[in-house]
Amino acid sequence: KKAIAVMTSGGDSPGMNAAARAVVRTALYEGVEVYGINNGYQGMVDDDIVKLSSRSVSDLIQRGGTFLGTARCMEFKTPEGRKKGFDNLMKHGIEGLVIIGGDGSLTGGSLLSKETGMPIVGLPGTIDNDVWGMDYTIGCDTAANTIVDAINKLRDTASAHRRIMLVEVMGRNSGWLAMMAGIAGGAEYVLVPEVKYDLDEMCHELKAMYDAGKRYSIIVVAEGAGSAVGLGQVVEEKTGIDTRVSVLGHIQRGGSPTVEDRMKASMLGEKAALAIISGATNVVFGFNEGKVVSVNLFDAVNNQKTLDPELVRLARVLA
Protein backbone atom coordinates (compact mmCIF):
# COMPACT_ATOMS: atom_id res chain seq x y z
CA LYS A 1 0.00 0.00 0.00
CA LYS A 2 1.19 3.47 -0.85
CA ALA A 3 1.91 6.03 1.86
CA ILE A 4 2.47 9.78 1.69
CA ALA A 5 3.12 12.47 4.28
CA VAL A 6 2.04 16.06 4.71
CA MET A 7 3.68 18.81 6.72
CA THR A 8 3.50 22.56 7.29
CA SER A 9 6.64 24.60 7.70
CA GLY A 10 7.85 28.15 8.35
CA GLY A 11 5.45 30.86 9.47
CA ASP A 12 1.89 29.55 9.77
CA SER A 13 -0.81 31.04 7.58
CA PRO A 14 -4.62 30.90 7.66
CA GLY A 15 -5.74 28.16 5.28
CA MET A 16 -2.83 25.80 5.96
CA ASN A 17 -5.29 23.60 7.86
CA ALA A 18 -7.70 23.59 4.94
CA ALA A 19 -4.86 22.58 2.61
CA ALA A 20 -3.59 19.79 4.86
CA ARG A 21 -7.15 18.56 5.37
CA ALA A 22 -7.64 18.37 1.60
CA VAL A 23 -4.37 16.44 1.19
CA VAL A 24 -5.37 13.94 3.88
CA ARG A 25 -8.93 13.40 2.71
CA THR A 26 -7.96 13.13 -0.97
CA ALA A 27 -5.27 10.56 -0.22
CA LEU A 28 -7.62 8.49 1.92
CA TYR A 29 -10.28 8.72 -0.79
CA GLU A 30 -7.69 7.29 -3.19
CA GLY A 31 -6.89 4.48 -0.77
CA VAL A 32 -3.46 5.84 0.18
CA GLU A 33 -2.14 6.07 3.76
CA VAL A 34 -1.27 9.54 5.04
CA TYR A 35 1.17 10.56 7.73
CA GLY A 36 1.35 13.97 9.37
CA ILE A 37 4.77 15.35 10.27
CA ASN A 38 4.45 17.52 13.37
CA ASN A 39 6.28 20.83 13.78
CA GLY A 40 7.73 21.06 10.29
CA TYR A 41 11.25 19.84 9.55
CA GLN A 42 11.94 19.60 13.28
CA GLY A 43 9.38 16.81 13.49
CA MET A 44 10.91 15.06 10.51
CA VAL A 45 14.34 15.11 12.15
CA ASP A 46 12.90 14.02 15.53
CA ASP A 47 10.62 11.35 14.03
CA ASP A 48 7.50 13.09 15.28
CA ILE A 49 5.43 11.48 12.53
CA VAL A 50 1.91 10.13 13.04
CA LYS A 51 -0.62 8.32 10.89
CA LEU A 52 -3.69 10.43 10.13
CA SER A 53 -7.31 9.46 9.62
CA SER A 54 -10.20 11.38 8.15
CA ARG A 55 -11.21 12.30 11.71
CA SER A 56 -7.74 13.75 12.40
CA VAL A 57 -8.68 16.66 10.15
CA SER A 58 -12.23 17.23 11.43
CA ASP A 59 -13.19 20.66 12.75
CA LEU A 60 -10.23 22.31 11.04
CA ILE A 61 -11.39 24.09 7.91
CA GLN A 62 -12.43 27.18 9.87
CA ARG A 63 -9.25 27.40 11.96
CA GLY A 64 -6.19 29.55 11.42
CA GLY A 65 -2.75 28.30 12.45
CA THR A 66 -1.81 24.70 11.65
CA PHE A 67 -2.89 21.60 13.57
CA LEU A 68 0.38 19.94 12.51
CA GLY A 69 2.42 22.65 14.19
CA THR A 70 5.28 24.39 12.46
CA ALA A 71 8.82 25.52 13.18
CA ARG A 72 11.87 27.13 11.70
CA CYS A 73 14.40 24.28 12.02
CA MET A 74 18.15 24.98 11.98
CA GLU A 75 19.19 21.30 11.93
CA PHE A 76 17.41 20.73 8.61
CA LYS A 77 19.60 23.41 7.04
CA THR A 78 22.49 20.92 7.21
CA PRO A 79 22.86 17.84 4.92
CA GLU A 80 23.14 15.66 8.06
CA GLY A 81 19.82 16.96 9.36
CA ARG A 82 18.16 16.30 6.04
CA LYS A 83 19.57 12.75 5.92
CA LYS A 84 18.17 12.11 9.39
CA GLY A 85 14.78 13.40 8.26
CA PHE A 86 14.87 11.23 5.16
CA ASP A 87 15.73 8.11 7.18
CA ASN A 88 12.71 8.74 9.39
CA LEU A 89 10.46 9.06 6.35
CA MET A 90 11.80 5.74 5.05
CA LYS A 91 11.15 4.09 8.40
CA HIS A 92 7.44 4.82 7.97
CA GLY A 93 7.43 3.71 4.34
CA ILE A 94 6.65 7.23 3.15
CA GLU A 95 7.00 7.49 -0.62
CA GLY A 96 6.18 11.13 -1.19
CA LEU A 97 5.86 14.35 0.74
CA VAL A 98 3.57 17.36 0.46
CA ILE A 99 5.13 20.48 1.98
CA ILE A 100 2.93 23.48 2.73
CA GLY A 101 5.06 26.55 3.38
CA GLY A 102 6.79 29.63 2.06
CA ASP A 103 10.00 30.26 0.23
CA GLY A 104 12.39 28.95 2.92
CA SER A 105 10.34 25.82 3.52
CA LEU A 106 10.18 24.99 -0.16
CA THR A 107 13.95 25.52 -0.37
CA GLY A 108 14.38 22.89 2.37
CA GLY A 109 12.19 20.57 0.30
CA SER A 110 14.19 21.15 -2.85
CA LEU A 111 17.41 20.21 -1.03
CA LEU A 112 15.81 17.10 0.43
CA SER A 113 14.67 16.11 -3.05
CA LYS A 114 18.07 16.75 -4.60
CA GLU A 115 20.03 14.87 -1.94
CA THR A 116 17.74 11.90 -1.32
CA GLY A 117 15.39 11.63 -4.28
CA MET A 118 12.35 11.87 -2.00
CA PRO A 119 9.42 12.97 -4.22
CA ILE A 120 8.22 16.43 -3.16
CA VAL A 121 5.13 18.42 -4.04
CA GLY A 122 4.93 21.93 -2.60
CA LEU A 123 2.02 24.22 -1.82
CA PRO A 124 2.58 27.93 -1.18
CA GLY A 125 1.56 28.55 2.45
CA THR A 126 2.51 32.04 3.62
CA ILE A 127 0.80 35.37 4.21
CA ASP A 128 3.69 37.07 2.37
CA ASN A 129 2.47 36.15 -1.15
CA ASP A 130 6.11 35.93 -2.20
CA VAL A 131 6.33 32.59 -4.00
CA TRP A 132 7.60 32.88 -7.57
CA GLY A 133 5.39 31.85 -10.49
CA MET A 134 2.04 32.64 -8.88
CA ASP A 135 0.04 35.64 -7.73
CA TYR A 136 -1.53 33.99 -4.69
CA THR A 137 -0.36 32.10 -1.62
CA ILE A 138 -2.54 30.34 0.96
CA GLY A 139 -3.26 32.85 3.73
CA CYS A 140 -2.48 36.11 1.94
CA ASP A 141 -6.18 36.88 1.45
CA THR A 142 -7.06 36.41 5.11
CA ALA A 143 -4.05 38.48 6.19
CA ALA A 144 -4.93 41.25 3.73
CA ASN A 145 -8.49 41.26 5.05
CA THR A 146 -7.20 41.55 8.61
CA ILE A 147 -5.07 44.53 7.59
CA VAL A 148 -7.97 46.19 5.76
CA ASP A 149 -10.13 45.72 8.84
CA ALA A 150 -7.47 47.48 10.91
CA ILE A 151 -7.20 50.29 8.34
CA ASN A 152 -10.97 50.80 8.46
CA LYS A 153 -10.75 51.28 12.21
CA LEU A 154 -7.73 53.55 11.99
CA ARG A 155 -9.59 55.76 9.50
CA ASP A 156 -12.23 56.62 12.14
CA THR A 157 -9.79 57.83 14.73
CA ALA A 158 -7.39 59.37 12.20
CA SER A 159 -10.21 61.43 10.74
CA ALA A 160 -11.45 62.49 14.18
CA HIS A 161 -8.01 63.92 15.04
CA ARG A 162 -6.81 65.02 11.58
CA ARG A 163 -3.85 62.71 11.91
CA ILE A 164 -1.50 60.81 9.65
CA MET A 165 -1.60 57.07 10.39
CA LEU A 166 1.23 54.74 9.49
CA VAL A 167 0.41 51.03 9.49
CA GLU A 168 3.31 48.59 9.42
CA VAL A 169 2.45 45.24 7.87
CA MET A 170 4.34 41.98 7.44
CA GLY A 171 5.72 40.50 4.24
CA ARG A 172 9.40 40.07 5.02
CA ASN A 173 11.32 41.32 1.92
CA SER A 174 8.20 41.45 -0.20
CA GLY A 175 5.74 44.29 -0.71
CA TRP A 176 2.94 42.08 -2.04
CA LEU A 177 0.86 41.86 1.12
CA ALA A 178 1.28 45.60 1.73
CA MET A 179 0.25 46.38 -1.85
CA MET A 180 -2.85 44.17 -1.73
CA ALA A 181 -3.96 45.66 1.59
CA GLY A 182 -2.94 49.18 0.61
CA ILE A 183 -5.04 49.17 -2.55
CA ALA A 184 -8.00 47.41 -0.91
CA GLY A 185 -7.72 49.71 2.11
CA GLY A 186 -7.50 52.88 0.02
CA ALA A 187 -4.17 53.99 1.44
CA GLU A 188 -2.66 57.30 0.33
CA TYR A 189 0.82 55.78 0.20
CA VAL A 190 2.07 52.20 0.15
CA LEU A 191 5.77 51.98 0.95
CA VAL A 192 7.28 48.72 -0.31
CA PRO A 193 10.86 47.45 -0.50
CA GLU A 194 10.65 47.01 -4.29
CA VAL A 195 10.03 50.69 -5.04
CA LYS A 196 12.23 53.61 -3.98
CA TYR A 197 10.31 56.31 -2.16
CA ASP A 198 11.17 59.92 -1.56
CA LEU A 199 10.30 60.82 2.04
CA ASP A 200 10.79 64.56 1.46
CA GLU A 201 8.44 64.54 -1.48
CA MET A 202 5.85 62.46 0.37
CA CYS A 203 5.91 64.82 3.37
CA HIS A 204 5.68 67.83 1.08
CA GLU A 205 2.60 66.36 -0.62
CA LEU A 206 1.02 65.45 2.70
CA LYS A 207 1.50 68.96 4.05
CA ALA A 208 -0.04 70.47 0.91
CA MET A 209 -3.03 68.11 1.15
CA TYR A 210 -3.66 68.93 4.81
CA ASP A 211 -3.30 72.66 4.09
CA ALA A 212 -5.98 72.19 1.41
CA GLY A 213 -8.34 70.66 3.97
CA LYS A 214 -7.57 66.93 4.01
CA ARG A 215 -8.55 65.40 7.35
CA TYR A 216 -6.45 62.26 7.47
CA SER A 217 -4.30 59.84 5.53
CA ILE A 218 -3.23 56.24 5.74
CA ILE A 219 0.30 55.15 4.90
CA VAL A 220 0.87 51.40 4.64
CA VAL A 221 4.49 50.47 5.32
CA ALA A 222 5.72 47.00 4.35
CA GLU A 223 8.13 45.81 7.06
CA GLY A 224 10.76 45.34 4.35
CA ALA A 225 10.56 49.03 3.45
CA GLY A 226 11.66 50.22 6.89
CA SER A 227 10.37 50.61 10.42
CA ALA A 228 7.09 52.51 10.59
CA VAL A 229 8.02 53.80 14.04
CA GLY A 230 11.12 55.50 12.68
CA LEU A 231 9.35 56.69 9.55
CA GLY A 232 6.47 58.09 11.60
CA GLN A 233 8.83 60.29 13.59
CA VAL A 234 10.35 61.69 10.40
CA VAL A 235 6.92 62.29 8.87
CA GLU A 236 5.71 64.15 11.97
CA GLU A 237 8.85 66.31 12.09
CA LYS A 238 8.80 67.14 8.40
CA THR A 239 5.06 67.82 8.08
CA GLY A 240 4.27 69.21 11.52
CA ILE A 241 1.11 67.09 11.40
CA ASP A 242 0.11 64.86 14.31
CA THR A 243 1.23 61.34 13.34
CA ARG A 244 0.60 57.93 14.92
CA VAL A 245 1.97 54.47 14.15
CA SER A 246 0.40 50.99 14.42
CA VAL A 247 2.55 47.91 13.98
CA LEU A 248 0.06 45.12 13.31
CA GLY A 249 2.48 42.24 13.95
CA HIS A 250 1.33 38.66 14.40
CA ILE A 251 -2.36 39.63 14.46
CA GLN A 252 -1.94 39.36 10.68
CA ARG A 253 -1.03 35.69 10.87
CA GLY A 254 -4.10 34.47 12.73
CA GLY A 255 -7.82 34.24 12.33
CA SER A 256 -10.35 32.11 10.54
CA PRO A 257 -9.44 31.83 6.85
CA THR A 258 -11.58 33.67 4.29
CA VAL A 259 -13.68 31.82 1.75
CA GLU A 260 -11.01 32.53 -0.87
CA ASP A 261 -8.25 30.98 1.23
CA ARG A 262 -10.41 27.98 2.17
CA MET A 263 -11.45 27.34 -1.42
CA LYS A 264 -8.02 27.74 -2.96
CA ALA A 265 -6.33 25.76 -0.18
CA SER A 266 -8.83 22.94 -0.67
CA MET A 267 -8.34 22.88 -4.43
CA LEU A 268 -4.55 23.00 -4.13
CA GLY A 269 -4.55 20.32 -1.44
CA GLU A 270 -6.43 17.94 -3.70
CA LYS A 271 -4.08 18.68 -6.62
CA ALA A 272 -1.02 18.10 -4.46
CA ALA A 273 -2.28 14.78 -3.10
CA LEU A 274 -3.22 13.45 -6.54
CA ALA A 275 0.14 14.57 -7.96
CA ILE A 276 2.28 12.99 -5.25
CA ILE A 277 0.22 9.76 -5.41
CA SER A 278 0.72 9.52 -9.15
CA GLY A 279 4.48 9.88 -8.73
CA ALA A 280 5.01 13.57 -9.58
CA THR A 281 7.91 15.34 -7.93
CA ASN A 282 9.60 18.76 -7.73
CA VAL A 283 6.46 20.69 -8.48
CA VAL A 284 4.65 23.49 -6.65
CA PHE A 285 0.95 24.07 -7.30
CA GLY A 286 -0.47 27.54 -7.01
CA PHE A 287 -2.93 29.99 -8.48
CA ASN A 288 -2.09 32.57 -11.11
CA GLU A 289 -4.69 34.90 -12.63
CA GLY A 290 -7.40 32.75 -11.07
CA LYS A 291 -6.21 29.45 -12.54
CA VAL A 292 -4.31 26.55 -11.01
CA VAL A 293 -0.72 26.51 -12.22
CA SER A 294 2.19 24.17 -11.57
CA VAL A 295 5.68 25.52 -11.22
CA ASN A 296 8.96 23.62 -11.06
CA LEU A 297 10.12 23.49 -7.43
CA PHE A 298 13.66 24.59 -8.27
CA ASP A 299 12.38 27.49 -10.37
CA ALA A 300 10.09 28.50 -7.52
CA VAL A 301 12.91 28.65 -4.97
CA ASN A 302 15.65 30.01 -7.24
CA ASN A 303 13.70 32.95 -8.61
CA GLN A 304 12.65 36.09 -6.82
CA LYS A 305 9.03 37.08 -7.28
CA THR A 306 8.73 40.67 -8.43
CA LEU A 307 5.99 43.06 -7.43
CA ASP A 308 3.43 43.66 -10.18
CA PRO A 309 4.18 47.15 -11.57
CA GLU A 310 0.50 47.45 -12.53
CA LEU A 311 -0.45 47.29 -8.87
CA VAL A 312 2.19 49.87 -7.97
CA ARG A 313 0.73 52.16 -10.61
CA LEU A 314 -2.86 51.51 -9.52
CA ALA A 315 -2.05 52.34 -5.89
CA ARG A 316 -0.63 55.69 -7.03
CA VAL A 317 -3.48 56.53 -9.40
CA LEU A 318 -6.17 55.80 -6.84
CA ALA A 319 -4.52 57.52 -3.88
Of 38 and 174, nearer to ligand F6P (C-beta) is 174
Does the annotation place 171 within a ligand binding site?
yes
Does the annotation place 170 within a ligand binding site?
yes
For residue 230, the tally of other CB atoms under 10 A from its CB is: 12
Does the annotation place 215 within a ligand binding site?
yes
Which stretches of the chain bind ligand F6P, using CB under 6 A? 11, 102, 126-128, 170-172, 223, 253
* Residue tagged active-site, from 12, 128, 130, 261: 128
Does the annotation place 155 within a ligand binding site?
yes
10 sits in the region (left: phi over 0; alpha: psi -120 to 50; else beta) called left
Of 223 and 270, nearer to ligand F6P (C-beta) is 223
Our answer to whether residue 200 is catalytic in this structure is: no
Of 178 and 273, nearer to ligand F6P (C-beta) is 178
Smallest gap from residue 10 Cβ to ligand F6P (A) = 6
Smallest gap from residue 102 Cβ to ligand F6P (A) = 5
Does the annotation place 128 within a ligand binding site?
yes
Smallest gap from residue 157 Cβ to ligand F6P (A) = 25
Of 249 and 309, nearer to ligand F6P (C-beta) is 249
List residues forming the annotated binding site: 11, 21-25, 72-73, 102-105, 126-128, 155, 163, 170-172, 186-188, 214-216, 223, 244, 250-253
Catalytic residues: 128
List residues forming the annotated binding site for substrate: 126-128, 163, 170-172, 223, 244, 250-253
